[in-house]
């Protein structure tokens, strides 16, 4: 009996070592083959990564504070540490199943993302980047990472949000259309709506304008295909029950009867993706089309469930207001060596077998 147990134990160790040396692309291909005979899960994630800047001066952007000689003493080593931390979140968020799509905001340019993918191992999972330079004065943009083995980009473009010449420009909305697991088409919108700088009420109209742009895009798509599969994710700087979502974007609960469903409305009270003093808020959300819940596509959500990713390493104790808070990179201008001032959010899509 003892010898038999030892043999089994040795075999398991050998199997573990063998799997450790299997190239991730081979594993991805095996997973793709397996999907022909069973359902698979496609994770969708959004993350405000809190100022992922490079260390070079961009004369067209106000990025001086994120330079080695700038107010934040941003350096190459700090940038690399930030990249490592972001990749850790992405690789851990789905357990054994890394996300197929990752929406990001507060990234300076495509270079920092391609560098992060290349130098942190994300490249081994086939991640690629969709990014466009936006007119934001600080140079922070939105972007989309996708696993090329599971999501095929058909088209992508930036959609501007204009407030008029007298107003400070904001981030574009990123629109990408692609095919998930060769099963069906997804329309993806990545957002970072204007902040509450100057007060929530004073800046409300700007976020409402961004919402109207999103509404125009979705209306155009739904006019062509009423059952289109839609993912709208971002840092919206608004709570899920905001009148901007309810009245302008018309994203509510299933029972409300609208074409857009906001899973964040089903979260329990007291949770959030960022914290201000004592209060948590849910500014980071993923909104979906009703067709992902009730349509006849092989791509579906089992329920309108949004998960806030709150791993212990993403949090730290809040000495001032009690409880926990996001473990951020900077507290003011003090380098804290954390992850972000926001927590990521996640939804699961189920991709069923395609019948011959």
Q: When comparing pLDDT for 20 and 115, which is higher?
A: 115
Tokens of 8: 């089994």
Higher pLDDT pick, 17 / 104: 104
Phi, psi dihedrals of residue 233, rounded to the nearest 5°: -130, 155
Residue matched to tokens 């806030």: 308
Q: Are 145 and 156 in contact (CB under 8 A)?
A: no
- Banded pLDDT at 169 (limits 50, 70, 90): very high
| pLDDT at residue 15, as a whole number | 37
Q: Say if residues 111 and 63 touch (Cβ distance below 8 Å).
A: no
- Position 16 pLDDT exceeds 60: no
Q: Please give the share of the chain, as a percent, with pLDDT higher than 70.
A: 88
pLDDT of residue 53: 97
Largest CA distance in the chain: 81
For residues 339-354, average pLDDT: 93
Partners of 129 in beta bridges? 145
Q: What is the mean pLDDT of residues 242-247?
A: 97
Mean pLDDT of 158-186: 96
Confidence of residue 178 (pLDDT cuts 50, 70, 90): very high
pLDDT bracket for residue 201 (50, 70, 90): very high
Confidence (pLDDT) at 197? 87
**What's residue 355's pLDDT?**
56
Tokens of 350: 């189920």
Q: Bigger pLDDT: 108 or 6?
A: 108
Q: What is the reported pLDDT for 269?
A: 93
- What's the pLDDT at 185? 98
Place 353 in a pLDDT band, splitting at 50, 70 and 90. confident
Whether the per-residue pLDDT at 2 is higher than 70: the answer is no
pLDDT for 5 equals 44
**Axis crossing angle, helix 110-120 with helix 76-93, rounded to the nearest 10:** 70
Instruction: Average the pLDDT over 124-137 and give the result.
Output: 96
Q: Indicate whether 9 pLDDT > 50.
A: no
Main-chain dihedrals φ then ψ at residue 155, nearest 5 degrees? -160, 160
Q: What is the mean pLDDT of residues 294-309?
A: 94
Can you tell me the mean pLDDT for 98-104? 98
Q: Which residues of 4-24 are buried (b: 16+ CB within 10 A; e: fewer)?
A: eeeeeeeeeeeeeeeeeeeee
Q: Cα 80 to chain center, whole Å?
A: 20
Q: Which two tokens stand for residue 345?
A: 């959010």
Arithmetic mean of pLDDT, 132-161: 96
- The three-state DSSP-derived secondary structure of the chain is CHHHHHHHHHHHHHHHHHHHHCCHHHHHHHHHHHCCCCCEEEEEEEEEEEEECCCCCCCCCCCHHHCCCCCCCCCHHHHHHHHHHHHHHHHHHCCCCCCCEEEEEEECCHHHHHHHHHHHCHHHHCEEEEECCCCCCCCCEEEEEEECCCEEEEEEEEECCCCCCCCCCCCCEEEEEEEECCCEEEEEEEEECCCCCCCHHHHHHHHHHHHHHHHHHHHHHHHHCCCCEEEEEEECCCCCCCHHHHHHHCEECHHHCCCEECHHHHCCCCCCCEEECCEEECCEEEEEECHHHHCCCCEECCCCCCEECCCHHHEEECCCCCCEEECCCEECCEECCCCCCCCCEEEEEEECCCCC
Residues sharing a CB contact under 8 Å with residue 170, sequence separation 6 or more, in sequence order: 134, 135, 136, 161, 163, 193, 194, 206, 210
Banded model confidence at residue 228, pLDDT cuts 50, 70, 90: very high
Question: Model confidence at 239, in pLDDT bands (50, 70, 90)?
Answer: very high
Residues contacting 114, CB < 8 A, separation 6+: 129
- Band the pLDDT of 10: cuts 50, 70, 90: very low
Backbone angles phi, psi at 190, to 5 degrees: -110, 125
pLDDT at residue 225 greater than cutoff 60? yes
* Predicted confidence (pLDDT) per residue in 273-286, tens digit: 999 999 999 999 99
pLDDT at 27 over 70: no
In the chain, where are the structural domains located?
1-34, 40-351
Give me 356's structure tokens: 């011959």
Q: Is the pLDDT of residue 144 over 60?
A: yes
Q: Kindly indicate the confidence band of residue 354, based on its pLDDT and cuts at 50, 70 and 90.
A: low
For domain 40-351, the question of CATH label 3.60.10.10 is answered with yes
Determine the Cα–Cα distance for residues 336 and 315; give it in Å rounded to an integer. Answer: 12
Q: Indicate the average pLDDT of the chain.
A: 89
Contact of 40 with 352, CB cutoff 8 Å: no
Rounded alpha-carbon distances, angstroms, from residue 187 to 211, 218, 352: 16, 9, 18
pLDDT (tens digit per residue) in 254-263:
999 999 999 9
As a whole-number percent, the residues of the chain with pLDDT over 90 amount to 83
Smallest CA-to-CA distance from 106 within 340, 345, 343, 347 is with: 340
The pLDDT of residue 138: 92
Distance in angstroms (rounded) separating the CA atoms of residues 337 and 295: 44
Judged against a pLDDT cut of 60, whether residue 6 lies above it is answered with no
Asked if pLDDT for residue 23 goes beyond 80, the answer is no
């Amino acid at each position: 009996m003892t010898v038999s147990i030892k043999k089994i134990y040795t075999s398991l160790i050998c199997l573990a070592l063998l799997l450790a040396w299997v190239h991730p692309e081979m594993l991805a291909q095996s997973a793709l083959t397996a999907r022909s005979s069973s359902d698979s899960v496609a994770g969708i994630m959004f993350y405000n990564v809190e100022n992922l800047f490079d260390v070079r001066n961009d004369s067209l952007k106000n990025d001086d504070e994120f330079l080695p000689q700038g107010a934040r003493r941003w350096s190459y080593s700090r940038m690399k540490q930030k990249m490592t931390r972001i990749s850790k979140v992405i690789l851990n968020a789905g357990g054994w199943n890394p996300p197929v799509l990752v929406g990001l905001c507060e990234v300076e340019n495509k270079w920092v993302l391609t560098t992060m993918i290349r130098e942190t191992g994300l490249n081994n999972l086939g991640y690629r980047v969709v990014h466009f330079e936006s007119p934001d004065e600080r140079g922070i943009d939105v972007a989309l990472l996708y696993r090329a083995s599971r999501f095929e980009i058909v088209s992508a473009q930036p959609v501007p949000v204009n407030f008029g010449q007298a107003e400070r420009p904001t981030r574009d909305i990123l629109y990408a259309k692609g095919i998930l697991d060769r099963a069906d088409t997804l329309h993806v919108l990545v957002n970072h709506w204007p902040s509450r700088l100057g007060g929530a009420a004073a800046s409300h109209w700007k976020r409402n304008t961004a919402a109207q742009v999103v509404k125009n895009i979705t209306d155009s798509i739904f006019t062509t295909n009423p059952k289109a599969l839609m993912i709208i994710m971002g840092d919206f700087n608004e709570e899920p029950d905001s009148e901007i979502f309810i009245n302008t974007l018309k994203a509510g609960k299933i029972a409300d009867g609208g074409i857009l469903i906001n899973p964040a409305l089903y979260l329990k009270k007291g949770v959030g993706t960022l914290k201000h003093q004592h209060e948590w808020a849910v500014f980071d959300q993923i909104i979906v089309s009703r067709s992902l819940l009730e349509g006849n596509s092989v791509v579906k959500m089992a329920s309108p469930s949004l998960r806030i990713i709150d791993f212990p390493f993403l949090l730290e104790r809040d000495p001032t207001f009690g409880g926990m808070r996001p473990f951020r990179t900077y507290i003011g201008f003090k380098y804290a060596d954390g992850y972000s001032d926001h927590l990521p959010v996640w939804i699961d899509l189920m991709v069923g077998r395609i019948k011959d």
